[in-house]
A and B are shown apart, each in its own frame.
Chain A
Amino acid sequence: MQVRFAGIGGQGVVLAGIILGEAAAIEGLNVTQTQDYSSASRGGHSIADVIVSREPIYDLIVTEADVLVALHQLGYDTVKDSLRKDGTLIVDTDLVKPDREYTGAPFTRLAEESTGTSLTVNMVALGYLIAKMGIVKRESAVEAIRRRVPKGTEEINIRAFNVGFEEGSG
């Protein structure tokens, strides 16, 4: 399973990739996580790749994504060609105007409404992704969030994750 997150700097795209990877590792799956970002600290494109498999992983970057999670038009435009023809496109429906079939929700708006900050948009999108696609168990993702987010922000991030998960379960 190849998952690619695409957005812009500041949206926490890489952290979403790390947390999905950690959750897969918790379940004993083989997992490789890489990232690509432009040198701009904010505003440039930001890509995180996660490859999960029961077999040894030879790939480094996602070349044929099974799932593309796009949080911003710039990220989407940069990597949309890497999504397989029959792959799943998940987008922030307020910020990305896709030119193909997609699913998604207004992740940034949901983050602001539920946690008072758009900073948790990555967790909303992660929750939505895991509800829609499986990949890892919900409990593993929550455990991975606890391990990886800055101390003191665990609860707000898990709340955002749950909002996304409920949205994706509908």
Chain B
Amino acid sequence: MRYPFVTGGSDFIQGDEAIARAAIMAGCRFYAGYPITPASEIFEAMALYLPLVDGVSIQMEDEIGSIAAIIGASWAGAKAMTATSGPGFSLMQENLGYAVMTETPIVVVNMQRGGPSTGQPTLPAQGDMMQAIWGTHGDHMLIVLVPSTVQEAFDFTVRAFNLAEKYRTPVVVLGDAEIAHMRERVNIPKPEEIKVVNRKLPRTPEEERMPFGDPDGDGVPPMPIFGRGYRTYVTGLTHDESGHPKTVDREIHERLIKRIFRKILDNKADIISYHEYELEDAEVAIVATGIVSRSAMRAVKMLRERGVKVGLLKLDTIWPFDFDMIKKLAERVHRIYVPEMNLGQLYHLVKEGAEGLAEVTLIDKIGGEVHTPGEIVKRIERGERR
């Protein structure tokens, strides 16, 4: 495969561009979208590149149609992605649930901007974290990855496709307007250096008949591909292992939904990714994700120079969430600060995990500016003087 961009070298590109290139290298061959700041450059890049790698990029009538189209494409065998920002992500919520229920591997990118509603189109925010996790209705489970650099935008997008395929689930890449538009030097691996995971396909006639079964006991059913000789029923209604609606059978509903939870939660160790900095001897911790974790990292360095024993836990995934890890952290430190670009979302997850073993303090900020390292330093110094 020849790619229409540099591989096996570095390039100086925006986060949006990095996401598009990563998707293509991870095997994405179908993109459906509707333009929206600050995610439009993903669409522009996919529209440019996909036809050159035998893929298809299509503009839909809106974001509802966009996610519907990629769900269909995925059932037709293509790795598929859409990208949007807050207002479009809101429109996608119903079909995000449909993808959960039908166990369809898709990647949905949401480059967060200030909300609610059309809000601040050009400015970054982290106000959609709870929406990414809980935006669609009903008991559901999915995976949410949060990049903090243009390099991570690339790496996490590749990972999003692999997790989607491995666990037959929608995966959300939750970026922000800052990551979308900033340019950084990014290392783009050679194609053979990228690990690409492909979904399980039915191996026997029995598995073909049971597209929602669990033949391997891992909760992930082999996925038949339309057009390859299977006859498959796909519905958002509660269905049995054959895919046919069974909407009033309590046991079937419970078995289905609990399996969808189990296939993710039993594999937390494989899915959850995080980084620890200077936490070994820390008395105070910062827990942060995405763009803000960069300022938090700098704040740790500044505070260490002033003798404050502080460390950083940077979360690459915010869902599934490792509550146990937060509890262990809370046992070691006396206070956990959570800087985030909203009025408190990740904070509530951290507080739940800490179980009262450490005080959890929110450092909120809204309005379209990432916390500066100095702002985080000031809040922690004030908090620790008490």
Give chain A's interface residues, CB within 8 Å of chain B: 18, 21-22, 24-26, 28-35, 39, 57-61, 63
**Taking the complex as formed, is B327 at the interface, i.e. its CB lies under 8 A from any CB of chain A?**
no
Interface residues of A, dominant DSSP: mixed
- Interface stretch among B179-187, B191-199, B212-220? B179-187
Considering the complex, give the chain B residue whose CB is closest to the CB of A147: B12
**Taking the complex as formed, is B241 at the interface, i.e. its CB lies under 8 A from any CB of chain A?**
no
Interface residues of B in 270-325 (CB under 8 A from A): 291, 294-295, 297-298, 301
- Interface stretch among B19-27, B159-167, B342-350, B367-375? B367-375
- Known interface pairs A39-B122, A58-B373, A60-B370. Does A21 touch B12 (Cβ–Cβ under 8 Å)? yes
- Known interface pairs A25-B185, A60-B182. Does A31 touch B297 (Cβ–Cβ under 8 Å)? no
- Known interface pairs A59-B294, A60-B291. Does A22 touch B12 (Cβ–Cβ under 8 Å)? yes
| Residues in B whose Cβ lies below 8 Å from that of A29 | 185
User: In the bound complex, how far is the Cα of B297 from the Cα of A23, in angstroms?
Assistant: 26
Considering the complex, give the chain B residue whose CB is closest to the CB of A51: B184
Number of B positions contacting A (CB below 8 A): 20
User: In the bound complex, how far is the Cα of B37 from the Cα of A82, in angstroms?
Assistant: 28
A34 touches B181 (CB 8 A): yes
B120 to chain A, nearest CB (A): 10
**Taking the complex as formed, is B94 at the interface, i.e. its CB lies under 8 A from any CB of chain A?**
no
Q: Among A26, A31, A61, which residue has its beta carbon within 8 angstroms of that of B184? A: A31
Question: Which of A21, A26, A33 has most B Cβ within 10 Å?
Answer: A33
User: In the bound complex, how far is the Cα of B298 from the Cα of A35, in angstroms?
Assistant: 20
B183 touches A33 (CB 8 A): yes
B182 touches A33 (CB 8 A): yes
**Taking the complex as formed, is B44 at the interface, i.e. its CB lies under 8 A from any CB of chain A?**
no
Considering the complex, give the chain A residue whose CB is closest to the CB of B148: A58
B312 to chain A, nearest CB (A): 10
A31 touches B295 (CB 8 A): no
Q: Among A18, A25, A58, which residue has its beta carbon within 8 angstroms of that of B10? A: A25
A58 touches B297 (CB 8 A): yes
User: In the bound complex, how far is the Cα of B178 from the Cα of A28, in angstroms?
Assistant: 23
| Residues in B whose Cβ lies below 8 Å from that of A63 | 372-374
B253 to chain A, nearest CB (A): 46
**Taking the complex as formed, is B364 at the interface, i.e. its CB lies under 8 A from any CB of chain A?**
no
**Taking the complex as formed, is B11 at the interface, i.e. its CB lies under 8 A from any CB of chain A?**
yes
- Known interface pairs A25-B11, A25-B12, A61-B370. Does A34 touch B298 (Cβ–Cβ under 8 Å)? no
Can you list 20 residue pairs at the A/B interface with Cβ under 8 Å? A18-B12, A21-B12, A22-B12, A25-B185, A31-B184, A31-B185, A32-B183, A34-B182, A57-B184, A58-B294, A58-B301, A59-B294, A59-B373, A60-B178, A60-B182, A60-B291, A60-B295, A60-B370, A61-B370, A63-B374
